[in-house]
């Protein structure tokens, strides 16, 4: 059996970093971890091929070779996914689809032959059994949550490491919180399930043995969802990193209560975590209550950010405007808040009703849903009727983006972060790092409108915080990407 696995094109978004990839000579940020894991769940005797449209094109001979074409996607990849499906169907090939977009909205992908939804460890064996018996059905789904200690190692042999900036590893699935707008609990449930420490160390070792020596993204939606287990894992991980001379810089996603646990922050720093994404959302307490983000209520969010920064981790933050409790003052409030707390990588998005979330169901009941989401909450589009009014909300949103990603404010925010940052990450300067730095001098330090701010940042950092110099260069490069994304949003 020949299985072609296709990962659709990921559009130019805040997280695509497409405009920054030229500095590091990479084609995409991450490989498709889901498809690589599914490949390992398929029979070993089958032939498998992965085509990631973010690094190469899909050729006719790829499709002709295949007996079945597997496809996985997020909502933001809907357009590309439909183009792939149409092209595959023109060759009369069978399509098997799964992943977030197909799980929450299968009805919009009408030409898929077989949906293998929810978590593949449960539903893929059902599909494979029926395939063997010649009794295939259209839909395979299950509410059962698998034991991920039995999840296999991804099939890394199906990709070229040189194409990617970062390798992804998954430690846990699920989040204990229930934010109204979030679809994580729909996809992965509210009880965090974790792999064993031995299992994760083995996954790191395999990446190491395959020659990977760069950053690793622990892709959990809330890495600290099960604090007890993660505290057991981190000492093992720290020892492994030390034994192997710290080959990987790690980053992940977590909840703000990370800042309430000094031991956990210390353990993450020892394991060489240097970045963490937090869902900060808004300084408006009533909006936090509205969306059930109670974890962030009655908390000094700015001080939480600073605590994490002082423990050696850069905080990347998610922010939202458009809640029912937001009024026109929220735009200035968000701008001042983001600037004050020094979150350089600030993903500010319009509130989005993702399919099947509690927010989606509430707005549907209220008659306020207007269309399917694009899956991209930073493209300036709305899929519901906001209480504030659409024009006011979009105008205010654009003002936030215009302001915080102006060169002046972005670099000011970077310096606010660096002043508070106490680097603990251990890494070697490599040839590729020097090459990226030289490219940044050429593209930003000479030809960019940001060149004045670029040199001011690097000189100040070099004199006052030399250990943070590499992160200053990295943020300058990322800033060139954010500036272009902001320009695109403002042009819509």
Q: How many CB atoms lie within 10 A of CB 244?
A: 13
- Name every residue whose Cβ is closer than 8 Å to that of residue 315 and which is 6 or more positions away in sequence: 275, 276, 277, 278, 305, 308, 309, 343, 417
Residue 378 is predicted with a pLDDT of: 84
Q: Using only C-alpha atoms, what is the Rg of the chain?
A: 22
Name the average pLDDT for the chain: 97
Per-residue pLDDT averaged across 270-294, rounded?
98
- How far is Cα of residue 50 from the mean position of the Cα atoms in its chain? 21
Q: What is the DSSP letter of 308?
A: H
- Indicate if the pLDDT at residue 375 is higher than 90: no
314 has which bridge partners? Answer: 275
Residue 376 is predicted with a pLDDT of: 85
Two structure tokens written together for 458: 């690097």
- Name every residue whose Cβ is closer than 8 Å to that of residue 192 and which is 6 or more positions away in sequence: 172, 173, 174, 175, 176, 222, 225, 226, 229
Residue 490 is predicted with a pLDDT of: 92
Are residues 148 and 195 in contact, defined by beta-carbon separation less than 8 angstroms? yes
Three-state secondary-structure class, residue 53: coil
Per-residue pLDDT averaged across 390-399, rounded?
97
Report how far residue 74's alpha carbon sits from residue 354's, in angstroms, rounded to the nearest whole number.
11
Are residues 164 and 31 in contact, defined by beta-carbon separation less than 8 angstroms? yes
Residue 137 is predicted with a pLDDT of: 97
What is the DSSP track for 235-253? HHHHHHHHHTT----EEEE
Residue 309 is predicted with a pLDDT of: 97
Burial code of 296-333, b = ≥16 C-beta within 10 A, e = fewer? beebebeebbbbbbebbbbbbbbbbbbbbbbeeebbeb
Residue 42 is predicted with a pLDDT of: 98
Give the N- to C-terminal CA distance of the chain in Å, as an integer: 46
pLDDT tens digits, residue range 433-487?
999 999 999 999 999 999 999 999 999 999 999 999 999 999 999 999 999 999 9
Report how far residue 221's alpha carbon sits from residue 278's, in angstroms, rounded to the nearest whole number.
10
pLDDT band (50, 70, 90) for residue 492? confident
Q: Is 198 exposed, middle or buried (0-12, 13-18, 19+ CB in 10 A)?
A: exposed
- Indicate if the pLDDT at residue 87 is higher than 90: yes
pLDDT band (50, 70, 90) for residue 144? very high
Q: What is the DSSP letter of 188?
A: H
User: CATH code for 166-420?
Assistant: 3.20.20.70
| 428 against 149, higher pLDDT | 149
Residue 480 is predicted with a pLDDT of: 96
Are residues 31 and 159 in contact, defined by beta-carbon separation less than 8 angstroms? yes
pLDDT band (50, 70, 90) for residue 261? very high
- Indicate if the pLDDT at residue 377 is higher than 90: no
Closest CA to 484 of 452, 453, 443: 443
Q: Which of the residue ranges 10-14, 288-292, 398-402, 417-421 would you say has the lowest mean pLDDT? A: 10-14
What is the DSSP track for 407-465? HHHHHHHHHHHHHH----------HHHHHHHHHHIIIIIITSTTHHHHHHHHHHHHHH-
Q: How many CB atoms lie within 10 A of CB 106?
A: 18
- How far is Cα of residue 28 from the mean position of the Cα atoms in its chain? 13
User: CATH code for 2-140?
Assistant: 3.40.50.280
Residue 243 is predicted with a pLDDT of: 98
Helix H or strand E encompassing 280: strand 273-281
Are residues 267 and 238 in contact, defined by beta-carbon separation less than 8 angstroms? yes
pLDDT tens digits, residue range 116-131?
999 999 999 999 999 9
Which runs of E-coded beta strand occur in 282-416? 314-321, 346-350
pLDDT band (50, 70, 90) for residue 259? very high
Q: What is the DSSP letter of 159?
A: S
Per-residue pLDDT averaged across 63-70, rounded?
98
Closest CA to 77 of 30, 118, 119: 30
* Residue positions counted in the chain: 492
DSSP H helices in 258-329: 262-270, 285-290, 301-310
Residue 135 is predicted with a pLDDT of: 98
Are residues 165 and 19 in contact, defined by beta-carbon separation less than 8 angstroms? no
Residue 380 is predicted with a pLDDT of: 85
pLDDT band (50, 70, 90) for residue 379? confident
pLDDT tens digits, residue range 443-457?
999 999 999 999 999
């Amino acid at each position: 059996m020949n299985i072609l696995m296709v990962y659709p094109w990921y559009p130019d978004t805040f997280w695509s970093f497409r405009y920054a990839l030229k500095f590091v000579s990479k084609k995409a940020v991450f490989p498709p971890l889901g498809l690589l894991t599914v490949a390992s769940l398929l029979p070993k005797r089958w032939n498998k091929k992965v085509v990631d449209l973010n690094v190469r094109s899909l050729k006719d001979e790829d499709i002709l070779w295949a007996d079945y074409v597997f496809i996985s996607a997020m909502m933001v990849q809907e357009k590309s996914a439909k183009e792939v499906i149409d092209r595959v169907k023109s060759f009369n090939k069978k399509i098997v689809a799964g992943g977030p977009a197909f799980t929450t909205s299968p009805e919009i992908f009408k030409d898929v032959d077989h949906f293998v939804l929810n978590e593949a460890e449960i539903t893929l064996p059902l599909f494979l059994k029926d395939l063997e018996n010649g009794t295939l059905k259209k839909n395979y789904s299950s509410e059962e949550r698998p034991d991920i200690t039995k999840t296999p190692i991804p099939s890394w042999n199906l990709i070229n490491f040189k194409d990617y900036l970062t390798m992804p590893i998954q430690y846990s699935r699920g989040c204990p919180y229930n934010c109204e707008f979030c679809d994580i609990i729909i996809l992965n449930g509210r009880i965090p399930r974790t792999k064993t420490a031995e299992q994760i160390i083995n996954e790191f070792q395999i990446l190491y043995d395959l020659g990977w020596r760069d950053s690793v993204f622990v892709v959990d939606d809330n890495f600290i969802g099960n604090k007890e287990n993660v505290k057991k894992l981190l000492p093992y991980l720290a020892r492994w990193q030390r034994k192997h001379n710290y080959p990987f810089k790690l980053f992940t996603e977590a909840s703000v209560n990370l800042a309430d646990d000094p031991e956990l922050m210390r353990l993450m720093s020892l394991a060489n975590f240097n970045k963490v994404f937090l869902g900060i959302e808004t300084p408006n307490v009533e909006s936090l209550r509205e969306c059930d983000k109670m974890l962030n209520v009655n908390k000094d969010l700015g001080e939480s950010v600073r605590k994490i920064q002082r423990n050696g981790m850069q905080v990347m933050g998610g922010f939202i405007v458009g809640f029912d409790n937001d009024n026109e003052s929220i735009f200035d409030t968000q701008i001042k808040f983001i600037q004050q707390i020094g979150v350089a990588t600030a993903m500010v998005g319009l509130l989005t009703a993702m399919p099947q979330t509690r927010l989606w169901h509430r707005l549907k009941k209220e008659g306020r849903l207007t269309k399917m989401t694009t899956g991209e909450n930073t493209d300036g589009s709305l899929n519901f009727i906001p209480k504030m009014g659409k024009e006011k909300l979009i105008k205010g949103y654009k003002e936030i983006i215009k302001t915080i990603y102006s060169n002046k404010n972005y670099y000011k925010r970077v310096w606010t972060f660096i002043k508070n940052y106490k680097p603990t990450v251990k890494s070697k300067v490599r040839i590729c790092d020097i090459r990226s730095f030289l490219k940044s001098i050429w593209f930003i330090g000479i030809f960019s409108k940001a060149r004045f701010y670029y040199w001011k940042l690097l000189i100040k950092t070099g004199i006052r915080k030399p250990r943070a110099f590499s992160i200053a260069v990295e943020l300058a490069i990322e800033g060139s990407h954010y500036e272009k994304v902001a320009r695109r949003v403002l042009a819509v």
